[in-house]
Amino acid sequence: MSNDTISTASKQDIAVGLFGPIQWEGETAYLHCPGEAQHTHPTGERDCRVTLDNVPTIHCFHTSCMGQVEAANHALRSAIAKGAMTGSFSEKPQQRSTEEIAASKERERYQALKLRAKASMTEILDKHSLGAADLWEKSPVRLTCDPAKDWRLLLKLFQPDDVVWIGGTTDSCQNDAPEPRKAECRRHFRAVADWLPLPAAPSQFICPNPFKCGINSRSNQNVLFRRYLVVESDTLTKDQIGAVFSWCQQFMRLRAVVDTAGKSLHGWFDAPGTAAEKELKAILPELGCDPSLFKLAQPCRLPGARRGDKLQSLLYLDLEGLQ
């Protein structure tokens, strides 16, 4: 019996037995990538698909999961071939482990979180309205001084010996760069106490998390730990992202809000716990927030720095319990 004689329904039973819930659209379907944990970029709902005609194959948009996808393809083809030889499809081709079943349920839970988040946006905007003027009024630190000095206020969110990156988008380089280039990049990684004596904001961007000492690359692996999560959006208005900030305050403490001197606001929150961060990774992009915000070394706007003819500035600052 060849694969061609196996019904589509039987092939689908085999695939579900191996990989859990699958969203079928004919003989092409979408599933959670077997190597999703290896993805280095956000995973979309249709990034991984499986086709069951001709040579059954799983295709994933990402490349970091190549090894796991190759192993999954071997298992799928082997199971279908075994079914073709025996002619029996009454049982699942492979008993899933307790860990696989738990992982499948977890994926379903996060998919449900995404759907609920998308459906809740109207309610969030209605119940959590928070405009720029409201943020300024609610700020625990009264922001009445010269906005050009706001960068020093923001640095109070860190410890004096924290190594913080401040720079432009090109002020980072890999270890194989020429030594003069690396020396120049290292100048952008300094302890907070070494930044403060400067007469003005050093550059337009800052990273919200402290780095290792003596580095020249603004990369995730060089970040010591997550201290803050900065929430922002390229698509929401300032009032809309303000409502998202207000909603987020149910789960995280808002420490600062930066007016980027453009169309957006950046909200600095105390780092959530591991479990909460995982849920927020599912929820916040569905609310219109930039998924890049979860990168440890993602740069954001530094208040007090000029952006064209405008000044980036603080709208909100909470230093309680940090000193």
| Residue 82 and residue 132 in one domain | no
**pLDDT score of 89 more than 60:** no
Residue 211 pairs in a beta bridge with 163, 223
Residue 116 lies in a domain: no
| Residue 215 and residue 66 in one domain | no
Average pLDDT over residues 125-147: 92
| Residue 57 and residue 193 in one domain | no
| Residue 168 and residue 217 in one domain | yes
> Given this model, what pLDDT does residue 84 score?
67
| Residue 43 and residue 192 in one domain | no
**pLDDT score of 124 more than 90:** yes
Residue 104 lies in a domain: no
| Residue 166 and residue 202 in one domain | yes
Tokens 């379903």 correspond to what residue? 108
> Using one digit for the tens of pLDDT, what is the confidence trace for 205-232?
999 999 999 999 999 999 999 999 999 9
Residue 56 lies in a domain: yes
* Cβ neighbours, 10 Å, residue 323: 6
- pLDDT class of 62 with cuts at 50, 70, 90: confident
| Residue 136 and residue 191 in one domain | yes
Mean pLDDT of the chain: 88
> Given this model, what pLDDT does residue 226 score?
97
**pLDDT score of 248 more than 90:** yes
| Residue 159 and residue 308 in one domain | yes
Low-confidence winner among 15-29, 217-231, 237-251 (lowest mean pLDDT): 15-29
Residue 59 pairs in a beta bridge with 49
> Given this model, what pLDDT does residue 179 score?
96
**pLDDT score of 90 more than 60:** no
Residue 102 lies in a domain: no
| Residue 229 and residue 281 in one domain | yes
**pLDDT score of 91 more than 70:** no
Residue 19 sits in which domain range?
3-96
Residue 103 lies in a domain: no
More confident residue, 150 or 108: 150
**pLDDT score of 26 more than 70:** no
Angle separating helix axes 8-19 and 66-86, nearest 10 degrees: 130
**pLDDT score of 21 more than 50:** yes
Low-confidence winner among 73-77, 83-87, 113-117, 313-317 (lowest mean pLDDT): 83-87
What are the φ and ψ backbone dihedral angles of 142, each rounded to 5 degrees?
-75, 120
Among 78, 96, 114, where does a domain finish?
A: 96
| Residue 202 and residue 313 in one domain | yes
Residue 107 lies in a domain: no
More confident residue, 194 or 88: 194
| Residue 92 and residue 128 in one domain | no
Task: Tell me how far apart the alpha carbons of residues 100 and 18 are, in angstroms, rounded to a whole number.
Answer: 9
In the chain, the percentage of residues whose pLDDT exceeds 90 is: 58
Residue 101 lies in a domain: no
More confident residue, 34 or 161: 161
- pLDDT class of 77 with cuts at 50, 70, 90: confident
Residue 323 lies in a domain: no
Average pLDDT over residues 43-60: 86
Q: Looking at the 3D structure of the chain, how many domains does it have?
A: 2
Tokens 């991984």 correspond to what residue? 48
| Residue 177 and residue 266 in one domain | yes
